[in-house]
Each structure stands twice: as structure tokens, then as C-alpha cells.
Structure 1
């Protein structure tokens, strides 16, 4: 980032100039949203201008579908969002209907629970399903989900474990004493062979999905359906759960407030979320596009 707060880019990747983007993929919390969870008027205008110019916008988030009200009013064209770190594709125009689900097998989730209990005693768990979230007694309560069922993870995962059971989107693991990155490294070492493990919270809260499920892999599937190549995608993010997506996209930006791993993964950097860093880049993309058309 320049001294004047302008956007700076890392050296151009060896595959040559980036073509005009066809899709913008942006994380929400810490990226598109300001810290108060609002979308600024400048960002709303930038998103609308991008879609008016024929560039699709995908919201790609760790949030569950039921927490997408923060951006539902700002969805234009396609209306699709990638939620739960790639475990679900949701149509925000159709009452947050699940278009695609990439579930975490319950048997795998139970193996991860057993493994992390042994590797990091004191870990508590929550289970995010298509029907909502349930959690253990010691897990920090979700005040946005007052109807959650409280029980051990083993019971939550084993009950109704038949063909009619709601798919598990992700497992959440919390530790009250370990540092966030320390917990992530420990969990990946102990259970990374069973599932995809990442984090997006400033606390020691891990998000665990099916093996191979990530924002990047689901975005890749959605882009392939549209004939969009990685080189035609511009991505934005700020936390470790964005790293794979930023590496996959032809052009990617770490926010000014981003985690060090995100800065290392991205091809460029913009200003912080509270300074409308996504809008800054979109405005520049559209200005360059207009200049080239003259």
C-alpha cells in the first residue's frame, strides 16, 4: 500500500497481463463489510456499477446462509453466494435456498472431534447444519441463534445419523486458552488428513469442512459452470480462510487489515475494509476498462 493509502500491486504474475475481469469474488467480514457490519454507500455503488458493466459479483464467506441479510439488499444479477467456506452455494433471491451442498460426513466430523479432544484438551465444538447450528455446553453461545440445541458434539453428530438427517456444513472448534494461529497449526497437524481446517475469527475458533472443500474449490466449480477462467477472476479477502481463493484467482487483493498469510498469498493489496478497499479496486477496474474502450 502506498504512503498515500493508494492501492499497490505485487509484481505481475508470469502468465502475462490480466484480462478484463468477468467475476469479482469478495469475502464479507473484514473485507466488504465495515467493522460495524454495514456496507458503505460507496461500496454499494461500486458493486452495482460492476454488474452493470457485465462483471458478476460473488459473495464468498464463512457465514451461514441465515446470516446473509447484511448483503441481501445489495445482490443484483445472479444472486448467488458461496457460504460456510464453500460448503454451500445459496440463492439469495430465492429465500436463501441451497443450490449446492458439499457436506462434511458425520463419521469424519466425529473422527475430527475425537482427534482434537486428544490433541487439544479443552476444545469445545459446534455443529453447523443446513437447518441451523447446535453446540456443546462449554461452547461460546451464538446469540444470533437462540433456538440452538445444546449437547455434546458426539450426540449432535450421531443423533438422526440416517439418510434424513440434515447435512453438516462445517464443524466449529473453540479453545479458550490457545492462540488462534497456534490452535490452527495444531489442528491441521493432528486432523488435517481428515478434513479442511481454517479460521476467520480473531479468536481461537476453527472452521472445519469436508476434505477439499474451501472457498476456492467451490468458486472454481461455479466459475467452470460459467466458462470463467481463474485469470478472469478478481478476489478479495482478509483472513486465513481466504488464502486458497486468493491464490487461485488470477488477480487478488489482501485488505489493509489482512492477516500476514493473506498478504503473502495475494497478488496485490488494497486499503482496509473501513476505508472501502474493495470499492477502491472496483472503481479502478471500471475506470481502466472505460479508458481502454475509448
Structure 2
């Protein structure tokens, strides 16, 4: 009698996907989000897999689920099988905005919270009512988050570590404008270079040596212009109120500058200093280049960056 394997011993596709996603996210909660399932469902699948294999596969530590050596081997095989299945069927994993409850995470500067994000969300509310968006800060950790899938996209002008393994798309060219209060005692309608040198300024330290402030500083340095900075803020969102209520002025990228100006009723002035333009881009990791949810989000961000 020949040996006949009962196929009930085999993994099904969802179990393979769970192994793959759990290995990446190191968290049952995030794996459930990614797979669009509830946490109890994912826990049940994991228990079935553990029983089948006779190994815990993922061991809970204080911070995350750590894979066992057996999981390392299984996941490699699971990924080969999933890739082979994709090739055979030409099947792309589906993403349906109307029914998805996926959580998308975007690394973005606070300026995006009042420029791109509200427009993005207005659109998402209409076509994907259960999709959630979470913003994360842009910092040296952003690259790692994109690689592990803990973040889906990074958005902004100056994002560190986005070289090998990342795709990028240039979205908007940014030039610089200056803002002053409507009833500024010395500046009305236009601002000369001597005004710029004489007035007190608000600066933003966001982005450090790669940020907007560094770009402005090097342009001023090259033009031998001194800027008297009396207030430095870590983000963009507090500037509007300060400009509206004092005689300080500021130099900002056009996108955030125009948004703050309309919000607080400020004068927009042409910047008398030549500061180089830069691009706002979005970045994603090569591993998620074909992920349909990621593609959907990228398309929307590109549309609402404008």
C-alpha cells in the first residue's frame, strides 16, 4: 500500500501569509491589521500552526514576538511557496478600500498634518470608511520602520537613510516665502533685503542638519546675510500664531507657509534671499512595491500632495 498524505496536514495559504507577516511585524496585533483580520482569528490560526509543527515558533518578550530557529526555517519556505503561488496564478493579493480596515502608517513632518493629511483623509473617508491612518515622526528610525513594514510610507523633504532598498517619487517642488503679520509696523506688501536683515525671525529646527532650516542657513551664509533669530521652534505648527501676534517674521516652504497664512490671516511676502528649491517626495521600501494597499496609498498621497 503506498503512502498517502492526508492534505489536512498541509498549511493553507492564510497560515503561510500569517507566518510571513508575523515574522515581519513581530506582533499579533499588527499582523491582524495587515491581514485585515481580528486579533482572536489570528491567534487561532497561530495556535493551529503551532499544533501542526509542534513548536511555539514565536515567543513573546516584553517588546515583541521573537521567532524561534524553527520559525526562521519555516518562514523562508513559506515565502518561497507564496512567491511561487503568485507566479503560478498571477494573483496579486487584493486590497479593497471599501471593506478594508487596514491601518496605514505614514512618517511625516508636522507640516503635513495641516497640508497633505487633511486632504488625504477627506478622500479616504469617502472611499475607504474603515481605513485608519497613523502618522509617525520622521527621524533616523524611519528607514527601519519602512523596511519592517511597521510604516507604509515616508513623506517629506528631508528624510534620512532613504538610499538602498527604497523607491522614491518626487511630488512637489518647494520654494520659499516669508510671512509677517497683517498689521506689521514696518513691513507692508513687500520686503526688501535690508528689512530681512533688520527684523527678528522665527526659525524651525525640524530635520536638523538635513532640514529646511539648514537649507535656509547655508543660503544666507552664501549671500553673506545675517538673520536675527529670536525664536526657534521644533515644528511648523506654532509659527502662525507667533507671527500673527508679534512683529517677528519667518521664512518657510511655500506649501506650509501659504497654509499658515490663510489660517492666521498673515501677509505672504516674496523672499528677498535666493534659497534653493527642494522636492517633497514619498518613499517606500522595495519589499512593499507591489503591495496593493501600499500602491493605493501612494497614489492618493501623490494626488493630495499638490
Question: Would the TM-score normalized by the shorter structure come out above 0.5?
Answer: no
Provide the TM-score with structure 2 as the length reference: 0.26
**Richer in helix (by share):** 2
Provide the TM-score with structure 1 as the length reference: 0.26
Computing the radius of gyration from Cα coordinates, the structure with the larger value is: 2
